[in-house]
Structure 1
Amino acid sequence: MKHQIIDNFDPNGVSTHNSLFGLPFDENTAEMIIIPVPWEVTVSYSSGTADGPEAVLNASLQVDLFEDDIKDAWKMGIYMLPIPQDMVNTSSNYRILAKNYIDWLERGSPEEDLERFAAVPDLINKACAEMNDWVHEQAKKYRALGKMVALLGGDHSTPLGLIKAIANDHDNFGILQIDAHADLRVAYENFEYSHASIAYNALKLPQISKLVQVGIRDYCEAEYIMAKENNRITTFYDKVLKKESYEGKAWKIISDEIVDQLPEEVYITIDIDGLDPKLCPHTGTPVAGGFELEQVMYLMKELVKSGKKIIGFDLVEVAPGPEGDEWDGNVGARILYRMANLYGASQGRLSLK
């Protein structure tokens, strides 16, 4: 059946399929499943990341399927599950509750409103736990079918369920985190599953032997101390990487140093705000600095060429701009397609030159 689908599809033409990248596959014929998670309950600056999966889906039709270093990459098959509209609604409702609570915190937590807000953290934590449980079940289901599984957020709280599903099957793996933020805060704003706590929460899993953070440039003192004192964490700060490059150190050498810090199996989490904000101007918490897209993709290819194996990935914090502005979604779609193909190459399902 898959051979017939491939034979009847022209990757150089105009696709008639209203699907991710215009590909003709479904959840049965695709080798890779993308889980969309339209969730942004705990965001603490700008909203919009819940619309990320739809923005990437819409922009993905502009992505050419040809990869000059991965032969017939599109034939592997990538399929994104339907965006769960009930989750969109749930996220929106709890986001209002969380925003009002954050506003109360920023006003100094006035005593007269304590009764009104005291129960909010528990309500938000329960909702976020249910979201992560749903992601976990989806990931387990498709991984059990032999599929490669990736996630498209949503804010950076969304991948924890996928990481837990991978931890069910792998005793020792690392996380490579591309990000402007350390995300090592402990229950930031009293939300256990905060977008600013994903790295801290992931490290609770004993299967994760190493967290390698790259591009970090916005962090608090407690996060800095944690990263310095925890021997499972290695952080490549943006300002240090910039200094080294200004002084003549090649990105090839830096990339090799990053890859050397990782164990043989690697999960990759990409917060789009790790890039220069010109590439993602509407992401929830943009920070000046960051990478060019090709810098990150070069690093990812070097990781695959090293022989280390990608065992899963996510892309989070893509937020669309005003109506008609597809730039963030366009960049996000290109990251997603390239990462999907590198994941496939790492797993031996595609051939990388």
Structure 2
Amino acid sequence: MKINQNLTFNNSEGIFIGSQTNCKDCKIGIYGVPYDGTTSFRPGTRFGPSAIRNISNGIESFCPQLNLDLEDLKYVDLGSLDIPFGAPEKVINLVKQATILLMQKGIKPLLLGGEHSITEGAIAGIVDFHPELIILQLDAHADLRDEWLGSKHNHACVMRRCIEILPSKKIFQMGIRSGTSKEFKELKEKKRLISHQSGQVAKSLDKAMQPYLGMPIYLTLDLDWFDPSVMPGTGTPEPGGFLWQDFAAVIEVIKKHNLIAADIVELAPKLDHSEISSILAAKIARSLIMLLSLEK
């Protein structure tokens, strides 16, 4: 599907369960970014968007936690963005353009990655519409390096780049358990690091975000936030992660807030032949569609 001279979406790999294929009356727009050009350990996230879509028909449309059904919501799946091979700069710019396109139509974007470097493009596309934007990052890694492997737009640098373009400079980073000493020093000094005890309600997150009720929130979810026991299909797994019940605790906090956009990144489905990683990612996508549908 050709949108303009720069943007083309490929929907040959199917669509997410219940999605429309046009934007009419839709408030939420899904698009994939099949990119893993800066992967530094195990590649394969370029297959993430198609895996989430293909397996989504195996999940129920109803979510008992949110008491919502996808069948009652209108959302479009544009397909996956056609992107060039090679360096990330052109990809990030295309993601920015695609995000702006949806924002101009009053549609809340949900990106299916792809590696984490794509988040920079989404944030760049949103901040002109919402300069007061706040980012919530669920991740095993801080991603605050200034450069990695010679690139400033590497997945390991994505939150550094996002902070640079974020007018509010407000970011909460939850579940970080891997990074350099410099990164952890910054996390603590800037009071960005949100602790969470697995199996418990998300008290620290709730308290940190309480002053920002009504403010626009962007959620970026790197799937290595989850423990490798339930999310083996990711390029940089990190022991000591979280389970679905912990994401459910985060949902309880987010549903109080004004979520305007989100992404799910770092699914490498071919690293998990059981496909439980893809199923988990699809269920997360279902929850995010529902959270994006809530009016605040």
Aligned match of 1:204 in 139, 161, 164?
A: 164
Question: RMSD across aligned C-alpha pairs, in angstroms?
Answer: 2.3
Aligned match of 2:62 in 60, 66, 73?
A: 66
Aligned match of 1:34 in 21, 27, 30?
A: 30
TM-score by length of 2: 0.87
Distance in 2 of aligned mates of 1:325 and 1:79 = 28
Conserved 8 A contact 1:321-1:327: no
Conserved 8 A contact 2:35-2:114: yes
Instruction: Kindly indicate whether residue 233 of structure 2 is the aligned counterpart of residue 282 of structure 1.
Output: yes
Could you say which structure has the higher helix fraction? 1
Paired position in structure 2 for 1:333: 282
Instruction: Kindly indicate whether residue 192 of structure 2 is the aligned counterpart of residue 234 of structure 1.
Output: yes
Q: 1:320 to 1:26 in 2, by over 3 A?
A: same
Distance in 2 of aligned mates of 1:261 and 1:224 = 24
Counterpart of 1:311, as a letter, is I
- Determine helix, strand or coil for the equivalent of 2:233: coil
**1:23 shift after superposition:** 3.7
Provide Cα deviations, 1:164-195, integer angstroms capped at 9, x if missing partner: 11101112121110000000011111111100
Paired position in structure 1 for 2:245: 294
Q: Which runs of 5+ in 1 are unaligned?
A: 1-16, 95-123, 349-353
- Determine helix, strand or coil for the equivalent of 1:27: coil
Question: Could you tell which deviates more after superposition, 151-160 or 314-323?
Answer: 314-323
Distance in 2 of aligned mates of 1:328 and 1:72 = 22
Instruction: Kindly indicate whether residue 149 of structure 2 is the aligned counterpart of residue 189 of structure 1.
Output: yes
Counterpart of 2:133, as a letter, is F
Q: Which runs of 5+ in 2 are unaligned?
A: 1-12
Q: 1:223 to 1:252 in 2, by over 3 A?
A: closer
TM-score by length of 1: 0.74
Aligned match of 2:17 in 15, 21, 26?
A: 21
Paired position in structure 2 for 1:273: 224
**1:293 shift after superposition:** 1.5
Conserved 8 A contact 2:21-2:78: no
Conserved 8 A contact 2:123-2:162: yes
Q: 1:313 to 1:323 in 2, by over 3 A?
A: closer
**1:255 shift after superposition:** 3.9
- Determine helix, strand or coil for the equivalent of 2:76: strand
Distance in 1 of aligned mates of 2:115 and 2:227 = 18
Q: How does 1:25-174 map to 2 (within 5 A)?
A: 25-68=21-64, 69-84=66-81, 86-87=82-83, 90-91=84-85, 94=86, 124=87, 128-174=88-134
Q: 1:288 to 1:262 in 2, by over 3 A?
A: farther
